[in-house]
Amino acid sequence: MKHALTSLDGTAASRLAFGTMQFGGNADAAASQAMFDAAIDAGITHFDTAHVYTGGASETLLGSMVKTQRDRLIIATKAAYTGGAGRANILASAETSRQRMGLDILDVLYLHRFDPDTDMHESFEALAALRDQGIIRYVGISNFAAWQAVKATGIAATFDLPITLIQPMYSLVKRQAEVEILPMAQDLGMNCAPYSPLGGGLLTGKYASSGEGRLTEDDRYAARYNFAHMHNAAKELPKIAEREGVHPATLAVAWAAAHATAPMPIISARSAAQLTPSLAAMDYKMVPALYNEIAALVPAPPPATDRAEEA
C-alpha cells in the first residue's frame, strides 16, 4: 500500500501534479498566475518546484499564489541539486525555500539528486530533524536509480523516516523507469511523481512544424531526445491523437498516468494555452487497447535481468 499523500487539511493528491519550473523564467508573473489558476480549476492539488528553479523565482511566485488556499494544497520542493546533500546544505535550502514561499511547513522536500560524495545517513538524519521540527511533512527522492532508492529507504528507516515519493523521468520515449523504478516504488509504498511526460515537448507534435522549445533551445534536452525511435514516435502519436479526437499531449500524459503502478505525472508549460491539453489528461480514460497501441510506438526496455525471453 502506498504511503498517504495529502494536504494539511487532508485533501488527497490529484491524479496529476503541476510543475512550476517555468515560473519566473519562460513564464512571467502573469503567465505563471494564469497557469496556476488553470491548474486549480482543473482540480490539481499537488504543485512541484525546487530550490534551484529560475534562481528562486519559481518558489517566490508559487508562494504568493497558494496563500488563499494553502491548507488544501500539497507544495513540494527540492534541495541539494547543487552544494551536495550534506546536513548544512539541506537545512539551509529548506529554510530558504520556506522563506521564499512564505510557508511555515513544506509538504514535501525531495533530495533533488543522488550525491555519491555524502553519506546518506547524514542526509536522512537532516531530513528526519526537519520532520521532527515540523518543518517538512513528507520526504522524497528525485533522479535516484532503483538501487540508490532502496539503499536510501533502508537508511531512512533507521530514523523512522518513510520515503513517500520518488520522482524519475518517465514518458513514452523515456521508459527506463518501467524496468525497476516503478515496480520498486509500488513494492515499497512510494508514490511516484514522474517528470517530463511530454518528452521535453517532443510528444506534443510541435517540433514537426518547426516549433520552438527546450529541444531547440537547450543542448541537454536536444541530446536527451536525439534518437530516431523517439522522433518516429513523435510523428506517429499525432496520427493516433487525430483519430481519437484529442491533442497528442493529452494522450502522452494520459499514457504515462495509465501505467499499472498508477504514477502521478508532473505536467508543465509556458502558458495556460500550452497547458490546456495536458490538463485534459486529468479526465481522459485510457483504454487498454489504446495504451498498448501507443506503447508499441517505441521499443520496450529490456527486463532488469537482461533475459530478453522474459520481456
Q: Give the number of other Cβ atoms within 10 Å of residue 9's Cβ.
A: 10
Q: Which residues are catalytic?
A: 53
Strands ordered across the beta sheet of 163-167: 191-192, 163-167, 136-142, 106-111, 74-79, 46-48, 17-19, 266-267
* H helix or E strand, kind and range, residue 127: helix 120-132
The reported pLDDT for the residue numbered 44 is 98
Q: Specify the DSSP element, H or E, that contains 139.
A: strand 136-142
Cα separations in angstroms, 67 against 20, 141, 169, 229, 236: 16, 26, 30, 44, 42
Distance CA 262, CA 284 (A): 14
**pLDDT tens, 166-206?**
999 999 999 999 999 999 999 999 999 999 999 999 999 87
What pLDDT does 156 receive?
98
CATH architecture of 1-167: Alpha-Beta Barrel (3.20)
In one-letter notation, the amino acid at residue 237 is: L
C-alpha cell belonging to residue 273:
494555452
Q: 46-50, 224-228, 249-253: lowest mean pLDDT where?
A: 224-228
Cβ–Cβ under 8 Å, residues 74 and 49:
no
**What does pTM read for this prediction?**
0.95
Domain boundaries, the chain: 1-167
pLDDT digits (tens, 9 = 90+) for 86-106: 999 999 999 999 999 999 999
**DSSP labels, 7-27:** -TT-PBPPSSEEE-TTBTTTB
Say if strands 46-48 and 17-19 run parallel, antiparallel, or are unpaired: parallel
Report how far residue 25's alpha carbon sits from residue 219's, in angstroms, rounded to the nearest whole number: 17
Q: How many residues appear in the chain?
A: 311
User: Percentage of the chain surpassing pLDDT 90?
Assistant: 89
Report whether 266 contacts 197 (CB < 8 A).
Answer: yes
| pLDDT grade for 207, boundaries at 50, 70 and 90 | low
Q: Give the percent of the chain with pLDDT over 70.
A: 97
